[in-house]
Amino acid sequence: MARSRSRWTPPLYSLLLSVVILGPLLGPGYLLLRDAVSTPRSYFTDSAWGIADAAARAVPQDAAIAALSTVFDGGLVVKAILLLALWLTGWGAAVMARTALPTAPLPALLVASTVAVWNPYVAERLLQGHWSLLVGYAALPWTVVAALAVRQGRSWWALAVCLAAAGLTPTGALLAATIALVVLALPGGARRGLRVVGALGLAAVASAPWLAATAVSGNGVEQADPAGWAAFAARAEPGLGTLGSLAGLGGIWNSDAVPGSRTGIFALMGTVLLLTVVAFGVRPLIRRRGNPVIVGLGVVALLAIAVPALAATGPGLAMARALGETVPGAGLLRDSQKWVALAMPIYALAAAAAFSRRHRPNPVQPTALSAVQRTRFGSAVAIVALLIALPDLAWGVGNSLRPVTYPASWQAVATELDGAAGDVAVLPAGMFRRFPYSGTAPVLDPAPRMLPLDVLQTGELIVAGGTVRGEGKRATDVQNAVLAGESADTIARMGVGWVLVENTTPGELGESERTLNPLDVVYSDEQLTLYRVPNPMIVESRPATVVVAAHLAWAILLLGGLAVGLLGRIRVRRTHQP
């Protein structure tokens, strides 16, 4: 009975935490907050494949959503994936603790789940709109469990699923691959060399979509804007400094994407509460220093905190800029705080270890039962402390995660463009918007995911009052031409067949009226105005066969691994049936 309770309580508890966090978002509507954009339907554009002008950052995420939204509502898909990610984070932390610490009782497993789900990293990435990064974060504890199974000579299917799921984004792929390779490369277990090579192969397939897209489009060879390293460096929170903020799993670069409780001195108190719970388990883990996996995860956690802290210093920024100038694709590393996710597995294990002393009732020594009760009480206190440390993570991170409803104008414009030729230029200039229906935070323009044609995007970001240059050279040229009031023939020769003006958001319009006045208005209302550019030059799409093949390989790795695991479980159950 106790074993059954230990197996089913953690997933139910993790699901409860996830619903408490995402509550407001689970109603009707769409996620539209900073970098997060969900739409009723997405399309297989060059941008979705990652072979447009800008770097392949949302690959294979956008193509996967485009595929799923042909059957299901795209907003529902994104919300389901996000809920699943948070649920699996907590459940995975409990399974990892039970696997690595066999004596961990149920209360200890619940503490591990709470540490993994209820922390500043989750809150800040939700507020920044990095829902797909949280899928990679969720994969980390499961990756530890799967890699431990491989070390014991068991099946590889679980590791394949973990790496593929994390590979929904490039960062997630790198996070999970790092954990997998560390666990598999450590001494002990079966066939050390073979398992490392196998993990590298699986990681390559999981990363194939963005690697292929980068190779085909050539965007990965562009130097990252030097201004981006300082703009995206980890940030010190009140009373903590950069190192303390990172140790508390906080410190995201955007000071606006932070829960209210982390903007004042309470950030110090919350961090102390979190680190106290973790610290109680450090000594029990040190006693297990003969276990190379625990040692390896501890070293990874220290580096995941120390390196981003060093990267935020003057010498660190200078080294980062030099890296960006010499290493293709190094811009992927510039949001250094996101790598703090690698500390989560050892934090969860330490929290569980603090309450993992096994007490056996003894009728001769009745105090043994009180020791069990003290462990349960201590676990409950730890969980309450973790919840208090970040009270406004509840209910949509202080009700910031609220679904929005798009005006019908978007669907009308999408219908108008269906099957048309030419790319779409958008006004006002820039990639971020403030619509009346999107709240006060800036949001990514939904047009690229809402419309069936490629929408030209410069990739330029406004960060902390400064500008970080994007990779979209052609999009920048088109934007400059429209703002300068160039003729319709000029932008038609640049491959533009349509200009969409988003009327309800502020932004730079320049002399665009001179470009727009001669054009035919195809659709217009209070929200959107769509202009047709006559005789656009059709820009040949880059060859995407290898990119499509890479996406298919990733999907097969994910779905094939799940199928193998499911069939294996069915076979085992049939074998054990009388």
DSSP annotation of 502 reads: E
Identity of residue 504: T
According to the model, what pLDDT value does residue 578 have? Answer: 59
According to the model, what pLDDT value does residue 283 have? Answer: 93
SS (H, E, C) 277-314: HHHCCHHHHHCCCCCHHHHHHHHHHHHHHHHHHHHCCH
In the three-class reduction of DSSP (H, G, I as helix; E, B as strand; rest coil), residue 350 is classed as helix
> What are the C-alpha distances in Å from 279 to residues 16, 112, 250, 516, 538?
26, 13, 17, 63, 61
Long-range contacts of 197-204 (CB under 8 A, 24+ apart): 198/150, 198/156, 199/147, 199/150, 199/159, 199/163, 202/156, 202/159, 202/160, 202/163, 202/164, 202/557, 203/163, 203/173, 203/176, 203/177
According to the model, what pLDDT value does residue 321 have? Answer: 87
DSSP 67-89: HHTTTS-HHHHHHHHHHHHHHHH
**Which residues, at least 6 apart from 247, have a Cβ–Cβ distance to it below 8 Å?**
271, 275, 305
| Element at 499 (helix H, strand E) | strand 496-502
Radius of gyration of the chain (CA): 25
Cα(15)–Cα(17) distance, integer angstroms: 5
Residue 91, burial from CB neighbour count under 10 angstroms (0-12, 13-18, 19+): buried
Q: Phi first, then psi: what are they for 530, rounded to 5°?
A: -115, 125
According to the model, what pLDDT value does residue 203 have? Answer: 98
Cα(366)–Cα(505) distance, integer angstroms: 70
Domain boundaries, the chain: 2-30+73-399, 408-532
According to the model, what pLDDT value does residue 221 have? Answer: 45
Cα(475)–Cα(126) distance, integer angstroms: 29
> What are the C-alpha distances in Å from 93 to residues 359, 490, 529?
23, 57, 49
The total of other beta-carbon atoms located within 10 Å of residue 574's CB is 8
DSSP-derived pairing of the beta strands 36-37 and 32-33: antiparallel
The total of other beta-carbon atoms located within 10 Å of residue 76's CB is 15
Instruction: Identify whether the C-beta of residue 52 lies closer than 8 Å to the C-beta of residue 76.
Output: no
According to the model, what pLDDT value does residue 300 have? Answer: 98
In the three-class reduction of DSSP (H, G, I as helix; E, B as strand; rest coil), residue 118 is classed as coil
Instruction: Identify whether the C-beta of residue 385 lies closer than 8 Å to the C-beta of residue 276.
Output: yes
Instruction: Identify whether the C-beta of residue 156 lies closer than 8 Å to the C-beta of residue 196.
Output: no
**Local confidence pLDDT in tens for the 578 residues of the chain:** 566 777 899 999 999 999 999 999 999 999 999 999 999 999 999 999 999 877 788 999 999 999 999 999 999 999 999 999 999 999 999 999 999 999 999 999 999 999 999 999 999 999 999 999 999 999 999 999 999 999 999 899 999 999 999 999 999 999 999 999 999 999 988 789 999 999 999 999 999 999 999 888 765 444 567 777 888 999 999 999 999 999 999 999 999 999 999 999 999 999 999 999 999 999 999 988 789 999 999 999 999 999 999 999 999 999 988 887 777 667 778 899 999 999 999 999 999 999 986 544 454 455 545 677 888 999 999 999 999 999 999 999 999 999 999 999 999 999 999 999 999 999 999 999 999 999 999 999 999 999 999 999 988 776 655 667 777 789 999 999 999 999 999 999 999 999 999 999 999 999 999 999 999 999 999 999 999 999 999 876 665 799 999 999 999 999 999 999 999 888 877 776 65
